Amino acid sequence: MSEDDFFKKASVVKLDTLSDVNDIGKPWRYEEDGMTVTRTSPWSPPGCHPVGCGLKLYVDAEGRLERVEGDENNPVTQGRLCPRCIALKDYIYNPARLLHPMKRDPKDRGNADAWETITWDEAFDIIKAEYDRITAQYGRESIVVFAGTGREGGTFFPFGSMCFGTPNFCYTQSGYACYTPRLAAIAYIGGTTYPEWDYAGALPGRWDDPRYDLTEVLLIWGKAPLESSPDGFFGHAVIDAMRRGTRLIVIDPRVTWLSSRADIFLQLRAGTDTALGMAMLDIIISEDLYDHDFVSYWCYGFDELAERCSTMPPEKAATICDVPVEDIYAAARMYAAGNPAAIQWGLSADQKTNGMQHAQVIVSLMAITGNLDAPGGQLLPNSSAGHNEVGFGFDKGVGDDLLAKMVGLDQYPAYCMVILNAQADLMLKALETGEPYPIKMGFYAGNNLMSCTSMEPERWHDAIVKSLEFCIGFDTFMNPSIEASCDIFLPLKTVAERDGTVFTHYAPCTVTAGFMHEAITVGDCKTDYELCYELGRHLRPELWDKEFNFRSAKEFMEALRLGKREEGRYFDKVAENVVCQIPIEYYKYEKGLMREDGTPGFATPTGRIELWSTAFHGFGEDPLPYYEEPQFGPADPELMEEYPLILTTGARTTAFFHSEHRQVPRLRALNPDPITEINPVTAQKYGIADGQWVRLSSPFGECVQKARVSEIVDEKTVHAQHAWWFPEEEGSEPNLYGNFRSNINNLLPNFHFGKLGFGAPNKCFVCKIEPIEESYDTDMTEVWDKFGKLV
C-alpha cells in the first residue's frame, strides 16, 4: 500500500444534530470573520489520552487564541468536545502557567519563592555540567526518567534512550498498574497488542459502513469510558452504539451512568473479577456456547482452560464476588449470544495483584467466542503495529551493556522487556537504598508522580529528594513533584502551540492518525520532541550529530512518528489532512497478517491464541488463569476488623485529567473538592452526613476527603478520587500545595504486585472511615481570583 493511501484524509459522517451550515470539508487552515482558524487533532498537553478529538482554534489578527470549537471533520468526534478542550484557552493563558526556564539552588528545594528565571542556554549549560559530573561518577544508569500517563511526554521514551542514554525510563506506579499489564497479557497470550472494541472508527462510512456489523452486546468491565476516553478511545462512541441498538452488560463495583442503562449490571466486590471471568468461561464452555471453529483452528490449550474453569463454578463465583448467581449465568449467555460481541476492559485489570489473570480470562472470553478481529468485535493490530516510540534509538542511545543494568530486569524480565521500563517498585528501592546502584539524577517527563502515579507518595517524595543530586521538571505549570524536588524547570508548549502527531490507542490498534498544527506562540516553550532533540544534541553531541544525524527537531519527530526523514516535508504534506483513517482489515490471522513471517495464525510459539500460555509458563507463572483473593480484604478477618470497608480508588471525572486542570476555574467548579463516595446505610452507621469531611485510613496511611453519600457504591465499599492537590494553596514545603492532605495514594502500598512484576491493589484495598469536624471546602472565589483572569 502506498503511503498516500495510508495517510488519506478521513471521510466524515455528519451528525444529525449539526447544522447544514458547518465547516465540513474546510482545509486545515482558513479565514473566517477576520480570524484564522486552524484545524488540529491534539494529543497533549494538557494531558489526555491520544484520542485526537477534532479542534478548531480561532486566532485573531494579533495572534491570540480567541476561542476553541469542536471540528466536525473528525470522523470519530464529529464536532463534539469534552469540557477540558472547550476550556483550553483558560489553561493556555492561565496566570499560573510558566512560560520561561527557571533555576533554583538545590538547597532551596521545596521553596516556591526561590526560583529564578533564566534563558534556555543557561538551562542547557547547567544541565550539561550536572549530566557530565554525575555520569562520570555514577554512570548513565544513575539517571531516572520519570514517565507519566496520557501525555505525549509521559510516554516519550527517547528522553531516556536518546537524550540521557539511560536504561531507566520508569513509570513509577507500583506494578505499572496502568494499561501495560493488559498489553503484556495480550502480548504473551496472543502475540499481538491491545484488542480495542471495534467502533468502526477506521471505516469511512463509520457505523453504516458495509464492512461493519453493529456490536450486539458490549460488555464494559471495570472501565468508565464516558469520563476518561481511556487509552485513546473516544468514550461517547459507546453512546453512538447504544443509540443504534447495542445492548450493555456492565461489571463494576460502582454504579456508572452506563450500568444504569445496562441489561445486566454485575456490581461485584472489588478485586474479584478473575473469579467472575472464570465462571463465565465455565458457563460458556459447559453450555457449549463457544465458537467451535475458532477454538479448534486458532486456540491452544482449550481443554486445559475448560478443566481449570470448571474449578470455579458460577455458584462459587457468586459467593466470592457477592453477586446473584443467575446474573452470572445471564451475563455469560448474553455475551456468548452477541453476534458480534465485544469487551471494553479497563484499568481494573491492571489494578489488582493478580491482574494478569483477570486479563487472561478476558482475552480467553474474546477468543473462544470468535470475536477477535471480527467486525464489531475486538479489532486487532497487524504485525507491524506497536508502541512506535518504544525501542526507537535504543540500540545506539543506550546499548546492550547498559540495557542489562535496567533496574528490575533480572527479577522481572516479563515486565521490563515488554515496555523497556525499570520496574517501578524496585526503582523506589534503588532510590531508598542505592541498590543495585545509586540513582542520582532525575527528569520528569509529563509526570506529577507525588500527586498521582505513586503509592505511599511521601515515601517516594523522601526517596527522590534525598537520593537525587540533580532533577529537572518539564511542564506547563508548577506541580508538587517539581516544587519538592527539582533544580531546573523547563516550560512546555500546549497543543495549540505545536506540531505533532496523535495515534489513537498509543499506536497499537490505531483507527485514526491525527496531526497537530501550531496556531499560536506563547512564551518561550518547547515541545517534547524539540527538547529531546535540542537537549540531546547538547548533552551527547557525538551521538546526535554523527549517529542519529537529524537535520532538525521536526525531522526527528518525523522519523520517530512517521518513519521518514525529509526535513519535515513529509509531515507537512500528510499533516494537511489533519485526521486520517488508518486502513484496516478483519480476520487478519487467516491472511498471514498477524505474524512477521507472513503465515496464518498468531505471533505466539504455537501460532495460536494460547489459552494455556507458554510464555507465562516460561516466566514461571501458572499458564492458566487462577483466582487469588485480594491480599488486603476479607481473606484477612483480623485486618477487616480494623479496616472494615473495601476501598476502590481512581474513577475518573470529566473535569480533570488525573492531577491536571485543578487551576482552571470553570473545570474546578465542576468538582471543587476531593470526593469519597459512601453508601447511605454505611454513612449512617459511621455518623457521616452528605458533604461532611471524612478521614480515610489504612495500614499504610490516611487522608481527608469530602463525603458524597450515594447509592453509587454498595454498603461494603467506598470509592475515593485520586490525584488531588490544591494549586491555590501555599506551594512551599511542608504544605506543598496540600499535596499529602487528600491524597488517597497515602493509603495504598508499593511491593504488592503479581508474579511477573505487574499489578497493584489500587482498586481493591481496605480502609476505615470516620467523620471529622473540620471542613476543607475549596473557596472557589479564591480559585477564581488566582486563576480566573487570563493573561
Partner 1 sequence: MTKGILINYDYCTGCHSCEVACKKTLGLPEGEFGIKLTEVGPYEYTDKPAPDHWEWTWLPVITKACDLCMGRTTKGKMPSCVQHCQAWCMYYGDVEDLAKKMDGKTRWALLATRE
Binding site residues, partner 1, CB under 8 A: 15-22, 67-70, 78-83, 86-87, 89, 226-227, 235-236, 239-240, 242-243, 248, 255, 257, 259-265, 654-655, 665-667, 669-670, 710-712, 780-781, 784, 788
The residues pairing with 441 across neighbouring beta strands, listed in sequence order, are 143, 470
Residue type at 314 in one-letter notation: P
Toward partner 1, which CB reaches closer, 69 or 108? 69
C-alpha–C-alpha distance, residues 286 and 279, integer Å? 10
- For residue 73, the minimal CB distance to partner 1 (Å) is 13
C-alpha–C-alpha distance, residues 72 and 53, integer Å? 10
Compute and round to an integer the Cα radius of gyration of the chain. Answer: 25
The residues pairing with 473 across neighbouring beta strands, listed in sequence order, are 444, 489
CA-based end-to-end distance of the chain: 48
- For residue 81, the minimal CB distance to partner 1 (Å) is 5
Retrieve residue 610's grid coordinates.
Answer: 494460547
Toward partner 1, which CB reaches closer, 262 or 736? 262
Toward partner 1, which CB reaches closer, 587 or 784? 784
- For residue 426, the minimal CB distance to partner 1 (Å) is 40
- For residue 197, the minimal CB distance to partner 1 (Å) is 17
8-state DSSP, 366: H
In angstroms, what CA-CA distances link 372 with 195, 340, 605, 701?
8, 10, 18, 43
DSSP string computed for 635-679: T-HHHHHHS-EEEEE----SS-STT--TT-HHHHTTS-S-EEEE-
The HSE-up count of residue 233 (CA atoms within 13 Å, CB side) is 28
Toward partner 1, which CB reaches closer, 263 or 730? 263
Toward partner 1, which CB reaches closer, 14 or 591? 14
C-alpha–C-alpha distance, residues 654 and 665, integer Å? 14
8 A C-beta contact, residue 561 and residue 567: no
- For residue 90, the minimal CB distance to partner 1 (Å) is 8
- For residue 666, the minimal CB distance to partner 1 (Å) is 6
Toward partner 1, which CB reaches closer, 334 or 428? 334
Closest CA to 177 of 762, 765, 766: 762
- For residue 725, the minimal CB distance to partner 1 (Å) is 21
- For residue 243, the minimal CB distance to partner 1 (Å) is 6
Coil, strand or helix at 151: coil
Closest CA to 86 of 115, 57, 45, 106: 57
8-state DSSP, 545: I
In angstroms, what CA-CA distances link 26 with 18, 43, 306, 318, 523?
16, 21, 55, 55, 30
- For residue 23, the minimal CB distance to partner 1 (Å) is 9
C-alpha–C-alpha distance, residues 749 and 741, integer Å? 17
Toward partner 1, which CB reaches closer, 96 or 403? 96
Closest CA to 169 of 179, 183, 157: 157
- For residue 122, the minimal CB distance to partner 1 (Å) is 38
- For residue 451, the minimal CB distance to partner 1 (Å) is 23
Coil, strand or helix at 407: coil
Closest CA to 277 of 311, 317, 322, 308: 317
Greatest alpha-carbon pair distance for the chain in Å reads 70
